[in-house]
Amino acid sequence: MDSPRPREDTIPLHVAATTTATSAWIEVCGEVDVSNREQLYFELAGIDLADADVVHIDLRHLTFCDTRGCAMLVRFERAARETGHRVHYLNARHTVRKVLCLLTPGDGPTFV
């Protein structure tokens, strides 16, 4: 069985973050693969979660994410949890959801 591969016409990665008094909303759009994983890392690292109690990571427009990209999302989630934030994934596609679960031992990620 062939594993899914990114298309030649990869949809550009875009990360948008909005914060309110008590929450942060992060939307990851496009595709994540070897060509732009570093961009995902820097985009996530630049998000200030200081005032947020809850972090919502919306993956509705994430059309492809390789395992290393999923690992970056998991590391971001763990770092947020370690600093006292609750983290929820929203609208993750089945394959991304499955990889996130496999990469997160124990309780696993929270999907909404």
Looking at the DSSP bridge assignments, the partners of residue 54 are 23, 86
Structure tokens that stand for 29 in this block = 């759009």
The per-residue pLDDT for range 31-41, each reduced to its tens digit, is: 999 999 999 99
**What's the length of the chain?**
112
Q: Which of 57, 49, 37, 43 is nearest to 15 (CA)?
A: 43
Structure tokens that stand for 70 in this block = 């999923």
pLDDT for 1 equals 52
Question: What is the DSSP secondary structure assignment for residue 66, as one 8-state letter?
Answer: -
- CATH number among 3.30.750.24, 1.10.287.3510, 3.40.50.620, 1.10.3720.10, domain 14-103: 3.30.750.24
Find where tokens 């059309």 sit. 63
pLDDT for 7 equals 54
Q: Which of 83, 87, 71 is nearest to 25 (CA)?
A: 87
- Say if CB 69 and CB 29 are below 8 A apart: no
pLDDT for 71 equals 96
pLDDT for 11 equals 83
pLDDT for 22 equals 93
Domain boundaries, the chain: 14-103
* Residue numbers of the chain with a pLDDT score lower than 70: 1-9
pLDDT for 50 equals 85
